[in-house]
Structure 1
Amino acid sequence: MLIKKVKINGFGKLKNKEIKFKPGLNVIFGPNSSGKTTLAYFLLNSLSKPGNEIKKYEPWNHFEFGGEISTDEGDFKVDFLNGEFNSLVDRELLETIGFIMEDEKLDTIKEKDAFVISYMKKRMQKNEWGLKLTDAINKTDEYANEIQLCIENISKQISEIDSYIDSVKEKIKNYNNKISKKNELKRKSEQLKQILEEKEEEISNLKREYIQEITEKINSLKTERDKLNLNLKEYLKFSKIDRDTVSQAKELLETIEVLENNIKSISSQLEELENNFSSIENTLNEKMRNLNIENEKDLEKVNLKIKNLSLLKKLYDEKKTKLENILEENPLWKLFTENEEIIEEVEKQEAIYRENQAKIQNKIEENEKVLKKLNSSIKVHKDFSFVFFFAAIISLLLGFVMRNINIWLFFGAAFTGFIGLFETILWRKIESRMDEVKAEIQELTKKKMIRPTYLSILKDYNLKSIKELRQKYYEFIEWKTRKKEYNQVSEEFKNLESEILRELKDFNLGSAAQIIDSGIAYLEKLYNDIQKLLLSKSSIEREIAKLNEELERMKAKREESFTSLNKMLEELKISIDEIKDFENIYNEYLKIKETITKIDSEIEKFENILSEEIYPEYIMSKIYETEKLRDELNSYEKELQEDVEKAPEFSEILENLKKRDELSRKLETLKGYYSNIEVSKQILQKNLEEYVETYGKKFKEEFTKILLSITNEPLPLIVEENLSVRLNINGEKLNPNEFLSAATFDQLLFAYKIALYRTMSEHNLPLVIDNALIRYDNTRLQKTLEILDEESKRRQIILLTSDERLKNKFKEALILEG
């Protein structure tokens, strides 16, 4: 493959850049950060599938990401933004043998990718000896295929003969089965005939027994029907009676019964009401005697007297309450009598007490403010004293340690100690002042808690405030005013009492003052009771009259119903008891008729069974079984009449068996040939594999030769079968990356990749070197360039470098500006 030119529209820092290449060696010089590595990765990603590093080269503030590459195979466009790329070369193969990058960390210890080793093996197969072995293997495959074809043809013929023999066997087997089956059918047919005879005899017996049973049932039902017809004659007269007339007669009977019950009920109610009337009248006469009256006409006068007594009683109670209030005294009345100016004295004491309390509270608040100030001052002086004492101790200790300045430190310790002592004295003085202030606050609090004298007075008389005391004083003044009216009220009270007692005396209730309340209440209750009794008496009289009217009406209706009932009984010619029980008698008549109808239906059903020969389930199942056996016997006889196909000829079978034996011997011989060809093929295959596996030897020779031509001294390197490279130091296989210098490792990497390409020279891939020769010394650089000159005859080389030595050596080098 030959790269002719690249056109980069946008890739990393390269934008709108076009570079042309020639066959052989192309040197491109550029300082650091000029875009050499960017160009190398553009070549890699435009020839093969893009890798993960493509994201790093997406240009900023540029709408294109890609370009175009021209090779001897054609022009190919790449657009990484839209996923448009090429797969001209396998990426892993191109990276392995077509690119050498600066600071590349190729791990030569690990086994190389399988595709590289596979390419080497294919190349080994294409030389003279490899081709001969491959051709021999192909020939064995052809012979094996021909023999396999013969084996398949013979196997097919044997299979056809086996199929024929199997079909003959099947025919013989079928013939034998049919003969056996016919014999079995004959035996079964004889058995079935015998079973059928037994079944038919059993069915005949069952039918005879069933017909006899049905005949007996018919006779029994006819006898029962005759008896019922005799009983029916006794009920014939009831069947001719009009049922509506009977219903009317029954309704009259029920009406008479209801009327009888109502008459009894009303009679008992009348008796009870008369008893109650008599009791009320007795109670009323007794209560009227208690009021000193003989009849109801005097009751209104008594009512007026009782109302007058109630009014007098009301006035009497008012006067009595007034007298009790005048006579009632309060312990405070004595206090107010002894000292009428007590209110003014108490109010004066209260004012003085409140003023003193306010003064004490103000003094306490002032002392609390002083206390807060002293407390904050103590904290400051206390903290300063601790700090200065601590500084004095530190200075004293340092004075013992640092002898060159110990005098100054001792002086500092004394000075800070003195200040600390001064602060402590101040702190203690303020503390003593705080104690004095606290004592003063406690004293003031005690004074504040002392109760005044006026509160003791209020407490003694269960008063809560001076306002309540003042209210009591107003009551005291009212009491004094009322006391002056006492004599007048007392006289009025006595007059009322005398008048009430005179009135009560007319009712024989005595003349003592104690009976005034109970006597008047008694008279009111007595009057109310008489009123209630009079109302009850009047109500009972009306109810008695009403019930008497109802009783007479019901008796008349009862007589009328009796007359109508007797007339109906004469027409129907039946008794009252028969009327009452008519429904049962008529139902019995209907029941007998229904039973006779059912019996007739049963007799008809049984006669139909006999005439139409209808048999029960158990007989029909026997008949069905017999029919089934008869069908089975017919099928057996039909099968016995069928013809049996003849068996195949024995001579034909013998001829096919001989032919199969002959073919089997040929098949065994061919299988032996096929097995020997397979063994031969395995031997040739093994020889080819052993030959191909020598690719490692060729790679090692090429690698050692290139590396020795650069370094001019052998290195203790080992190339293993998996192409891994290791350093052999004192019998240990070590990683060369860890023990070789960076420049030597770069030369090892260069030799490794050139050797890989030469071993796989069937792939004409360009070689791109990205500043990988920068650490070479002049001698080794010159030898490397000689190798590259020889290599450029095989393939195109693109050398990207920032080495001034190469710029000076190759005047025609393309300059890539940073």
Structure 2
Amino acid sequence: MLLKRAVIKGFGKFKDREFRFKPNLNIVYGPNESGKTTLAKFILCALSESDEDLARYKPWSGGEFDGFVETTEGTFSLFDRDGKKLDRRILEAVAFVLEDDELESFRIEKELFETNLKKRTERTDEGRVFKTVLSKLETFDLRPCFERLNERYRTLTERVKEIKANVRRYNELEGVLQKLRTELETSKKVEKDLTNQLEVLRRSRTERIVKDISEIKARLETVQRELEKLAWVKRYSEQQIVEIADLMNKEEKLKSTSDQLKEEESAIAEKLAQVTREIEKRLQSLNLVSVTDLESANLRVKHLSLLTKMYTEYNSETQPEDPLWKIFLETPNILEKVEEEERHYRERLDALEGKKAKLQEEIKDLEVSSKRLRDTSVVGVLVGVVLFVVSYFFKDFATLLYILSAVSLVFGVWFFTLSKKKESELKIREEELVNVSIQKPTPPQILKTLESYGITTLRQLRRKYEEFLQWKVANREKERKLLEMKEIEQEIIRELSKFGVTGVGQTLISAVERLQHNLLEIQELLQDKEGLERKLNNVRSEYNNLQKELKATSEAIEKILGSMSLTRTEVANYHNALLRFSELKNQQLELEKSLTLLKMELENENSDESIRRLKERILSESERQSQLRYEIERLEKEMTDLVPNYKELEVLLKERDEVSIKINALKRLETVIPGLREHFRTLLERFAQSYQRVFSEEFSNFITFVTGTSTNFVVTPELNLKVAVEGELRDPEEYLSGSMKDLIVLGLKLATYKAFYDNNIPLIIDNALIRLDDERLVKVLDFLERESNVRQVILLTSDKRVLDKFKDSGVQIVYLEG
């Protein structure tokens, strides 16, 4: 037996660990408390029936408490109870040398090895002879012979009586045999029909699967061709494509930024043009040719401001009692103008009312006409339908009725079309009526202006104008001042006209103010223009720099693409192509899997339920035929045996005499066998006792090899170790050092294995050599290395001297953590 590996799911400090061992010498090194003894105990408990100490090795951290040891003779689990485990006492006596083994408690139980001792005895020629003879004598029992011979004698006697009954039995079996043969022929015919059905089903199944295989192969070829087209994606790493894509994204961003700057430049230029146009428009509105005329315009505006101030002072001194008098003075013909506007307003209002009445009349006529046409169309359609139905009952007049029905339907559709046209015209007239109702003539504008003075009608204006004429007669001095104010006003108007501005009365002041405001706005527009020009220059400079960077980036991209034989489209589509490539690979695997399954299905016809059932039925018929044949053969054989045979009777009588002679001979032999059995048992026990010498020689050879000197140890017949002191045999514990006791325990277990144990089993040593000095340790390690050539050795140790010994020897060393 060789240990291959030990798998520990949970045992002591170990959890989910695996240890592998080689056939020869294995070193497991670890400091104290690293788990060497735990590993040795795990192997011992797995190979043998566990004892009560097993509970001490439950996992420290909790979890599953289990594991197994895999050997060349099978797997031994920690908690298996199948009876195949080894005897724990034998393992502790020959295979395990533990650190806590004491010489004082070591005893060899000879009865444990009796079975192996007997097997070893049988391996020698002399031992095999003794064993074979003794085995035969011990199992030699004459009683079965007596019984068989007596039984045979009775059988022969009864056989004669049975011959007469055979004739009757023979006739009965003949009828049964004929019936079985008929059933056999029927079963053969059924089997043949089922076989034909099976062949037909096999052919159809094969054709179907072959067709499916061809289709999958075609699809697989298509996928492979597409994979070949996309094979380029595997030539480039994703990092390379990402770098190129980053450059392309950078290029796109530069282009986008450049376009934005271009748009911003256009927007600024457009805004600059708008400002320029606005300045020119403002200058034109003031009758100025260019910006250089602004200085002279400012001087004229200042002059206007002085005139406006004088006009305001005069206006405050000559302000009429009623604000309307000023308007009447400025517009002497205001009454005629209002009368003219009132007359035009009344004419437009009368025209709208007439048009509204006309549209209402037309709408009323259209509603009546549309209703009549719609009713007529309904009547025509109903008449056509009725005539069409009546034609089924009057076959003689069917043609005439069909014609009349068609004419009625045509007239119905025509009248319906006319009603729709009338409804369209009606909607148009209604919309015109709504528009006319919404329209209102523009009221007189002068009266609307005079509403703020309390004048809302022409009669009120006439009364107020009469009051103005009375005031004018009574206020000649005020009229003179008003005339002077009028002259100043005319001068202001002339100055304003130079700027293209008009105004009367109070509007002159606001006109001057607007003129000043316009000049101020022109100054602000000029400042805005200068700012826009500066911003436009900055944008153009930034745009040129971006164009240079964009050109460099594009050249770098083209250079990389040229070196890698790629196009921009391939880079842009790389991720989609890579995803498609992966999808195609998965499809290829799925198709190959399906193809394999179909091939397996083609090879394994039993997967088809119909074929399997047919084969089962054929097999059932075949088994039934076999049973029938068997029954026929059995009956034929029985009938053959039942044929009367007088020669058989003579033979039976002769055989009965021979049996009687044998019975008498056995009775004489029975008295000699007990003496022979006792003699050979004594010889075998003397031969087995020679293995005590082998045990003593193996132990002495090991101690001599390690210590270099002959020993005064003696092995008694009871396999106890004694030491010769002054001619007396005494227990060795009180005369030996601790290291020598460890050496003796190891030697005793090695000698026990070689002398009494017949099977190959590994030697496991748990830190039992730690107390040896350097010289003896080297000797023991040399002995173990030589022993590992015929027996697997696993040495668990915390001694660094062992590592130094085997560090360059190729021996497997497993390290445990503290």
Rg comparison, structure with higher value: 1
Band of TM-score, shorter chain: 0.3 to 0.5
